[in-house]
Structure 1
Amino acid sequence: MGERETWMTEEFGTSHEGAVEVLLADGTVPAPVHFDSGSGTAGHRVSQWSVYDGRPGIPRAAALRAVCSCGWKGPEQQLDWEVVGGRNLVEAGDGQADACERDWDAHTATVEASTIPLPDTITMLLEQLEEEIDKLAKTSPIAAVRAARRTAIAAERVGYWAARSTLHDHTPRQAAAALGLTESATRSELARLGRYNPYAG
């Protein structure tokens, strides 16, 4: 895969990393486009949707769709080349690319809805804590740093036994589904909180 713009949420990270994927007229996904740096180095490979404009040596995109690192794929957003005409694809296809991002937003909303719900009191406390630290940062940034650090310490302390209990009570697949993460990311997160080596033994 070549370089391209991607999207992530803070909670799900690379478990649900989204991007725009190009489809050719035959329904296939084109290979990355190689751009020579001109300096004798290897150059770089690009999969950004806007480069597939049909110029010599580069395939022309027929449609765009959102994709996610979890394997999800969104609906096709067709490109009308009669409408595109001679315009730059990054401008002419902007509406389709925006639609792809909205499709991915809807996908991550579905993922979030499928995770284990938090009690309203916890959600409200977390939001209030964030707001209070933001306000503190405007008057005393160093105090806000201390507050953020104390918050991280508290999270690690309560997360230790929670992670250990999760490991005891759930399979990696069950835990991953509840957290909205991949199994690999779930193992890493539980290992971090539970302070153990996931590769030991």
Structure 2
Amino acid sequence: MYGERSGWRRDGFESHEGMVGVLLADGSEPGPVFFDLGSGSNFHESTSWWDYDGEFRRPTAVSMRGRCACGWRGTKTYVIDWEKVREDDDPDAYDTSGPYEEWEAHLDDVAGRAVSLPEDLAELLGKVRERLDRLWLEEDKARAYAMMLKACDGLETIVAEVGPEAARALAHAQDEDGAVPAVAEALGMTEKAARARLLHYEHLTWR
């Protein structure tokens, strides 16, 4: 796996976005770097590893590691060869497979601790998605689009009936036991994302 300008994501665990993190010579993790775009008080902020190259008085990173939006950091570090980066003149060509593979292992651990859907329910959801995808192949496009929306209406009705009750029950447990970490772990989300998901479903209505 080579450098990517976007973060790393896995379906079902989007809030655990991964990226390449960097370390300075003293072992510290630097904050964002800022770029003056010449438009008054507007500054561009970046945490992309290739921007810590020491140019224009920016910090110089000496090594990289995997990092995740949940706060996880990889235990292994990989020396950055800035001569190689500058020679290729393309950060995407630089090998970041080490940090990525560690993040993948972290996501495997997150997935292993999250709740799994019953096999029959997971199969039903997969079949619904597959059948909806096949509607795109219908010759009568207007009719197909109408069927898609009708299916979405039925799905959202189910979600509006089930989601709020489940979210309120989890929120109640959270208030009693301070169980946000446990809820986040069960959902395979960061705590911030879990709170947002509970709030969303708790107040969801569909008419």
Q: Tell me the TM-score range normalised by the shorter chain.
A: 0.7 to 0.9
Q: Deviations over 1:41-74 (max 9, x none)?
A: 4332222111222334223321111211211111
Equivalent pair of 2:69/2:190 in contact (CA under 8 Å): no
1:60 aligns with 2:57: no
CA distance in 1, matches of 2:22, 2:33: 12
Q: TM-score, normalised by structure 2?
A: 0.76
Q: Which has the higher contact order (CA 8 A, sep 6+)?
A: 2
CA distance in 2, matches of 1:191, 1:84: 44
List runs of 5+ in structure 1 lacking aligned partners. Answer: 197-201
Equivalent pair of 1:22/1:49 in contact (CA under 8 Å): yes
- Of residues 137-146 and 124-133 in structure 1, the stretch that sits farther from structure 2 once superposed is 137-146
1:176 aligns with 2:184: yes
- Which one of the candidate residues 174, 195, 199 is aligned to 1:187? 195
List runs of 5+ in structure 2 lacking aligned partners. Answer: 139-143
| Partner of residue 144, structure 1 | 148
Equivalent pair of 1:63/1:78 in contact (CA under 8 Å): yes
1:166 to 1:49, Cα distance in 2 relative to 1, 3 A: same
CA distance in 2, matches of 1:187, 1:55: 40
| Partner of residue 89, structure 2 | 88
Equivalent pair of 2:114/2:185 in contact (CA under 8 Å): yes
| Partner of residue 141, structure 2 | none
Q: Deviations over 1:15-36 (max 9, x none)?
A: x232221112222223433222
CA distance in 2, matches of 1:44, 1:18: 21
Equivalent pair of 2:24/2:60 in contact (CA under 8 Å): yes
User: Partner of 1:21: helix, strand, or coil?
Assistant: strand
1:22 to 1:169, Cα distance in 2 relative to 1, 3 A: closer
User: Percent same amino acid among aligned pairs?
Assistant: 35
| Partner of residue 11, structure 1 | 12
Aligned-residue CA RMSD in angstroms?
2.7
User: Partner of 1:138: helix, strand, or coil?
Assistant: coil
Q: How does 1:100-119 map to 2 (within 5 A)?
A: 100-119=99-118
1:39 to 1:106, Cα distance in 2 relative to 1, 3 A: same
User: Partner of 1:43: helix, strand, or coil?
Assistant: strand
Equivalent pair of 1:137/1:143 in contact (CA under 8 Å): no
1:157 aligns with 2:156: no
1:42 to 1:120, Cα distance in 2 relative to 1, 3 A: same
| Partner of residue 199, structure 1 | none
Equivalent pair of 2:85/2:91 in contact (CA under 8 Å): no
| Partner of residue 170, structure 2 | 166
Q: TM-score, normalised by structure 1?
A: 0.78
1:84 to 1:163, Cα distance in 2 relative to 1, 3 A: closer
Shift of 1:84: 4.7
CA distance in 2, matches of 1:91, 1:162: 43
